[in-house]
Amino acid sequence: MHLPNPSQLLPQMAAALRLHLQQRGIDQARFIGIHTGGVWVAQALLAELGLSQPLGTLDVSFYRDDFTQHGLHPQVRPSALPFDIEGQHLVLIDDVLMSGRTVRAALNELFDYGRPASVSLVCLLDLNAHELPIRPDVVGASLSLAANQRVKLSGPTPLSLELQTLADRELPQ
């Protein structure tokens, strides 16, 4: 299968995001990336948009619903929001949207920091494997994978996508 080159997706994502915010009448948005890939995508997207504002980062490990099945990630990085999110319009950025559970965890975590005016979701890839009613507002590319396939983003520069095939025993039950 052919995977897109992330750097080629970024100009079109930046344009779509600009349009999305414009349509909503948002002129000042705060950007937040989800660790780790989402932070890289967010940094690249800010650069593409020519913005130099501070970027918030979230590690959702403490909010995941699969913690008792998969355990705690040993290297939890602290979440850092260098701005108040109360009443703000937020742009939440992740690399790959699969089940939607990471985004659900991120939304939960965000609401522990305050009540934003709105949250828009930007993803580099949408794998069309949603398990929750969560859809991106802006997406780089959409594709469907076989059950034993995963996509991994490497970065931060250059960003590149790689296809991985799971062994049977690693497949979720």
Judged by the rule CB under 8 A, the positions of this chain that interact with another protein are 59, 61-63, 67-69, 71-72, 74-80, 108-109, 112-114
| Contacting residues for 104 by C-beta, under 8 A, at least 6 apart | 65, 132, 134
Nearer of residues 28 and 69 to another protein, judged by Cβ: 69
As measured in angstroms, the least distance from the Cβ of 67 to another protein is 6
Residue 112 CB, nearest distance to another protein (Å)? 4
Beta carbons of 86 and 111 less than 8 angstroms apart: no
Report cis status (omega within 30 of 0) of the bond before 54. no
Instruction: Work out how close the CB of 86 gets to another protein at its nearest, in angstroms, rounded to a whole number.
Output: 9
**Minimum CB separation from another protein for residue 76, in Å?**
4
In terms of CB distance, is 72 or 166 closer to another protein? 72
Strand segments, DSSP code E, in the chain are 29-34, 55-58, 89-97, 118-126, 138-142, 149-154, 160-165
* CB of 93 closer than 8 Å to CB of 31: yes
| Shortest Cβ 92–another protein spacing (Å) | 18
Q: What Cα–Cα distance (Å) separates residue 139 from each residue in 6, 73, 82, 85, 88?
A: 11, 27, 25, 23, 22
The smaller minimum CB distance to another protein, of residues 23 and 69, is found at: 69
Query: Which CB atom, from 20 or from 73, has the smaller least distance to another protein?
Result: 73
Helix axes 6-24, 37-49, angle to 10 degrees: 70
Report the C-alpha gap between 85 and 87 in whole angstroms. Answer: 6
Closer to another protein at the Cβ: 34 or 138?
Answer: 34
